[in-house]
Amino acid sequence: MRSSRFRILTIALVTLAIAPVGFAAGFSIFEQGAKATGMGGAFAATANDPSAMFYNVAGIAYQRETTAMLGGTLISFRNEFTGGDYEFPGPGTTEGFEDHLFTPPNAYMVIPVGENATFGIGQFTPFGLRTHWEDQDDFTGRFVAQDTNLKVFSLQPSFAWKTSDDRFAVGVGVEYRVSKVALERNIPAINPFTLQVADIGHVALTSDEINDDFGWNVGLMFRPSETWSVGVTYRAPITIDYEGEADFQQISTGNPQFDGLVAAGFPPDQKIKTSVDFPAIASFGIATTAIPTWTFEFDAVLMTWSEFETLVVDFENAATPDLVNEENWDDSWSYRFGANKQVNDMWQVRLGVVWDETPQPVENVGPLLPDSNRLGLSFGVGLKHGNWRIDLSELYLPFVDRDTLGQNQDNYNGVYETTANLLSMNIGYTF
Amino acid sequence: MRIKTKALRFTAVLALALVSAVPMWAARGKADFTRYVALGDSYGAGVSSNAMVDAHQRNGYVATIARQAGAKDFQQPTVSQPGIGPELQLLSIRPLQIAPKAATNGVPTNLSLPRPYNNLSIPGARVGDLLTLTGAQPPTNTQTSFAQFILRGLGTSADQALAQQPTFISVWIGGNDLLGAVLAGTPAALTPLEQFDASYNALLDRLVAGAPNAGIVLGSLADAKSVPFATTIPPVIVNPATSQPVLGPDGKPIFMIADLGGGTIGQLPPGSLVTLGASSFLATGFGIPPALAPAFPTLPNAGKPLPDGVVLTPAELVIIDKAKVDMNAVIIATGARLNIPVVDINTFFEHAKAGLDFGGITINAAFLTGGMFSYDGFHPSDIGYTILANEFIRTINAHYNTRIPFASITRYFQNNGKRTAKVTAQEDVGADTPFDYTRDALDGLLQVTGTQNNLPVTNRVRD
């Protein structure tokens, strides 16, 4: 049971969390801490700062000092769509995203209890999506999607326990996930007076601020020797049901007769329902400190995106046809390699490489979400001074050009080129 | 599998090359659009809404192919507003009023071109006309009238095409040989198959002999039921107040009465088509069975049959369908014999009828609202011609290994851009009124397609 005070707090926090574009395959986001991001997200077997609550909750068992960490990521990106050799929207078409700067925040606190246990509370943004097309009223894909916005915000109380010899740790988290979703597009019709395609309406589908559900996650860490560590985690899938409003706005075509006909059959504003199936995330990591002052880690991360089969928007009014988007995604793997060098007592430097497979089948690649495989290169530094710690990282994430090969389900075909830059910073304080 | 010997490997490479090169080798000549010449009928001429007019000629499938392929100095026999037709416009939806834009025709505007036109398509032309008409014949019918300013006495279509030493030729002809029967409402208007076969082969042999290195593309013929002219009006009595079929004592719709052919008057059998040509007759009560006539006291012709020329019975449709299959077999066989690719127009129109998706927009063959056809219900709109041109481009690219870019229908987005305030005032649009595709509209279509249809003069406004 949630108290009303808890609810108000949640609303305040959600409002603070700004929706990012998906920056790992699909619409997941693995950039939830500057140290881990500097290591290319390969952190499940290292997990030695409070962001472990996202990467492997067992890791907080080894953190024996009360520590708070706050941070965020500054995401900027470039995107270009070109029409390619296809019939629609046609060769020569170029489109792009609206400029947005995204700053998904994160915050963590770990509190050790006794010798071997640690409590934690973490806030992060494991999923999110924004696909907002520039000049959305002239965008050639405006009858498919103009602006798609999925906001996610998670709050996770966590607990972990380790054996006294540090060889083994286990952690659990209960994730309270809150989400909001919005979708905008225009409605077309043939204007019989011009025999051309006219925009006759605009529909904005917006969910309530708070749509939520709970999920669980579990992490294990095993240190078979002084210098080797293995991490395994599982974050369960969560399905969030959304309720909201559809706002239909008629657009004048310039012909009063036709506008009158359109008005007579125009759908009324009404309640809507939808749901999104978020995948499970399973990570398998191995790390070594066999070379003094160095940490190397390799992770393989599986996301069960095959959960994401359809996106259905159910309109309350029976006369308004439901919106059914076939998704039929595939499970996807991400492979991450990271290195951390302890330069001296104060400084650490980091490097990472990540290969993220897209779960999105080519038919589904479209204006709502054009995903692609991506290769990320990261660089990071960490500075420790007294009780303070600052981590900075930069992740350069070019997407592999994605050609819809003439197979898009809405016959909106072309090539998407996207490049992202993610600048992350975290500040930690040990009490 | 590893290939062991050099000879074997060579054979494998050769075989692979053969397989991958088939599209290039299958089509004769090459797709070089330096001198592109088009032969055809009213579709080729870019006729839209009953008119040959520059505003639509420039968007016809021929002109669109030329533009996309970068054809040099591509010239058409352009006609000024309101076109030779003249062009129809939609005046009102309820009541539905489609009427010519003006009482008089436009005039040819490119008559002084000192060479044959690249687009030699002649409204009304049948296959045989392309080997006989020269523009020197007296203007006794549609073909000869249009030929006067398209061919200008400079020789037949085939002669003038070859005189330009064409590097690429598109030939889509036969629409009037086949669908003339739909416009005339009788299979009697079909060109006899032997004649079609002989003319078609003679035309292509002539072109191939005269331009042995030119690339060529052909188009097949569409089904009678692919045009809204034939499919919009149901063959049953509809209550104008409700737009719903009037039901008989048995609870089933009541079929219209018509001249079923040869003066036999009777109810239309299920599966009959009533063409848009019937509209002006229906408006005054034709087609309503005598038993129902007292229920329509305001309609002076209630109880009288529709003329034969505006209906197609299932028996007539069987003959027309067979002609389609046979004529398409001739086109495909000719293409195969001469290594010329054929655009599968028949399948394309089937798909168009079901609806083609373009980024959330559906274009289909519905009259007025489908986007594919113009106000005459028979000729394409600008959007329809663009999609047709893309079918030609698709076939050319596949067989000639070219990368001619598709034309985009985004050209025909009305694109009123910014969102306006919500429209709240709803006009009183009233109930559906009887469908009226005016007699003027019908006469214009019969005129522009060269269709002989001896309909009674009743309802005729213009003459």
CA atoms within a 13 Å half-sphere pointing along the CA-CB vector of A206: 8
**B86 shares its domain with B73:** yes
CB contact under 8 A, B413 and A196: yes
**B60 shares its domain with B204:** yes
Which CATH superfamily does the domain covering A4-430 fall into? Outer membrane protein transport protein (OMPP1/FadL/TodX) (2.40.160.60)
Which A residues 4-63 touch B at CB under 8 Å? none
Final residue before a domain boundary, out of B409, B426, B442: B409
* Distance from the Cα of residue A369 to its chain's centroid: 12
- The answer to whether residue B163 is domain-embedded is yes
Which A residues 137-156 touch B at CB under 8 Å? 137-138, 140-144
CB contact under 8 A, A91 and B405: yes
| Closest CA of chain B from A162, distance in Å | 55
CB contact under 8 A, A191 and B414: yes
- The answer to whether residue B384 is domain-embedded is yes
**B70 shares its domain with B174:** yes
CB contact under 8 A, A197 and B403: no
**B190 shares its domain with B254:** no
Interface mutation vs chain A, best among B416, B432, B437, most A CBs within 10 Å: B416
**B249 shares its domain with B395:** no
CB contact under 8 A, B360 and A410: yes
CB nearest to A195's CB, from B357, B382, B407: B382
CA-CA distances (angstroms) from residue B138 to B134, B141, B142, B149, B424? Answer: 10, 9, 11, 12, 58
Tokens of B106: 């436009």
Final residue before a domain boundary, out of B297, B312, B327: B312
**B180 shares its domain with B262:** no
CB contact under 8 A, B408 and A256: no
Specify which residues A123 forms β-bridges with.
A107, A155
CB nearest to A143's CB, from B92, B359, B371: B359
**B246 shares its domain with B217:** no
CB nearest to A249's CB, from B356, B419, B429: B419
At B436 the pLDDT is 61
Nearest partner of A144 among A369, A407, A406, judged by Cα: A369
Residues of B in contact with A147 (CB under 8 A): none
Length, in residues, of chain B: 463
Tokens of A32: 């939830």
- The answer to whether residue B4 is domain-embedded is no
A268 touches chain B (CB under 8 A): no
Which A residues 218-237 touch B at CB under 8 Å? none
CB contact under 8 A, A195 and B419: no
Q: Which residue of A has its CA nearest to B363?
A: A190
Q: Which residue of A has its CA nearest to B391?
A: A87
CB A329 within 8 Å of CB A359: yes
At B95 the pLDDT is 81
Give pLDDT < 50 ranges for chain A.
1-21
A192 touches chain B (CB under 8 A): yes
Final residue before a domain boundary, out of B389, B409, B429: B409
- The answer to whether residue B12 is domain-embedded is no
Strand blocks (E) in A23-167: 67-82, 94-96, 105-113, 117-124, 129-132, 147-162
- The answer to whether residue B460 is domain-embedded is no
**B169 shares its domain with B206:** yes
| Amino acid letter, residue A376 | G
Cα A178 to Cα A127: distance, rounded to the nearest angstrom: 10
CB nearest to A90's CB, from B90, B408, B417: B408
Give the total number of structural domains in chain B: 2
Q: Which residue of A has its CA nearest to B362?
A: A189
| H helix intervals, B70-192 | 142-150, 157-163, 175-184
- The answer to whether residue B18 is domain-embedded is no
List chain B pLDDT tens, one digit each, 463 residues. Answer: 333 444 445 454 444 444 444 444 468 888 999 999 999 999 999 999 999 999 999 999 999 999 999 999 999 999 999 999 999 999 998 788 899 999 999 999 999 999 999 999 999 999 999 999 999 999 999 999 999 999 999 999 999 999 999 999 999 999 999 999 999 999 999 999 999 999 999 999 999 999 999 999 999 999 999 999 999 999 999 877 777 888 888 889 999 999 998 889 999 999 999 999 998 899 899 999 998 888 888 889 999 999 999 999 999 999 999 999 999 999 999 999 999 999 999 999 999 999 999 999 999 999 999 999 999 999 999 999 999 999 999 999 999 999 999 999 999 998 655 444 445 444 444 444 445 667 777 777 777 777 777 676 554 433 3
CB nearest to B414's CB, from A194, A250, A262: A194
**Which residues make Cβ contacts (< 8 Å) with residue A49, sequence separation at least 6?**
A33, A35, A36, A63, A67, A69, A389, A391, A426, A428
At B134 the pLDDT is 96
Taking each helix axis from N to C end, the angle separating B345-354 and B382-400, rounded to the nearest 10 degrees, works out to 130
| Amino acid letter, residue A377 | L
CB A364 within 8 Å of CB A394: no
**Which residues make Cβ contacts (< 8 Å) with residue B388, sequence separation at least 6?**
B43, B61, B345, B348, B380
Q: Which residue of B has its CA nearest to A192?
A: B368
A260 touches chain B (CB under 8 A): yes
**B116 shares its domain with B195:** yes
- The answer to whether residue B15 is domain-embedded is no
Residue that the structure tokens 């095959």 belong to: A306
**B374 shares its domain with B287:** no
**B246 shares its domain with B106:** no
CA-CA distances (angstroms) from residue B205 to A141, B134, B340, B454? Answer: 46, 19, 11, 36
Specify which residues A175 forms β-bridges with.
A215
At B415 the pLDDT is 67
CA-CA distances (angstroms) from residue A263 to A189, A258, A259? Answer: 13, 9, 6
At B272 the pLDDT is 96
At B14 the pLDDT is 47
Q: Which domain range does residue B87 map to? A: 24-224+315-409
Cα A205 to Cα A246: distance, rounded to the nearest angstrom: 4
Cα B295 to Cα B39: distance, rounded to the nearest angstrom: 52
Residues of B in contact with A144 (CB under 8 A): 359-360
Residues of A in contact with B412 (CB under 8 A): 195-197
Helix, strand, coil percentages, rounded to 5, for chain B: 40, 15, 45
At B26 the pLDDT is 64
**B70 shares its domain with B123:** yes
CB A223 within 8 Å of CB A205: no
| Amino acid letter, residue A131 | T
β-bridge pairing B361-363 and B356-358: antiparallel
